[in-house]
């Protein structure tokens, strides 16, 4: 995969929009030590042109 391919994929994903949701839980002997929650929305935003 080249850099141009990666740019094309990212352009398509951002244009369509994508939601990322993830959870990570690290526990030891049944005791929760670390919990990470990730929620992200990636989308393109149209901005008005200044004349």
Record the tokens describing residue 36, joined without a space.
């990470």
How far apart CA 34 and CA 28 sit, in angstroms, is 10
Q: What are phi and psi of 48, to 5 degrees?
A: -70, 145
pLDDT of residue 27: 96
- Break the chain into its structural domains and give their ranges: 3-42
Res 11: pLDDT: 84
- pLDDT of 34 reads 96
Inter-CA distances, 30 with 27, 34, 45, Å: 6, 12, 44
The ranges of the chain with pLDDT < 50 are none
Q: What is the pLDDT of residue 21?
A: 94
Provide the pLDDT for residue 32: 92
pLDDT at 29: 94
Residue 45 sits at φ, ψ, to 5 deg, of: -125, 125
* Structure confidence at residue 47 (pLDDT): 74
């Amino acid at each position: 995969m080249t850099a141009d391919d990666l740019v094309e994929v990212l352009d398509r994903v951002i244009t369509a929009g994508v939601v990322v949701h993830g959870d990570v839980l690290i526990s030891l002997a049944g005791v929760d030590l670390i919990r990470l929650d990730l929620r992200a929305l990636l989308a393109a935003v149209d901005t008005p042109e200044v004349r």
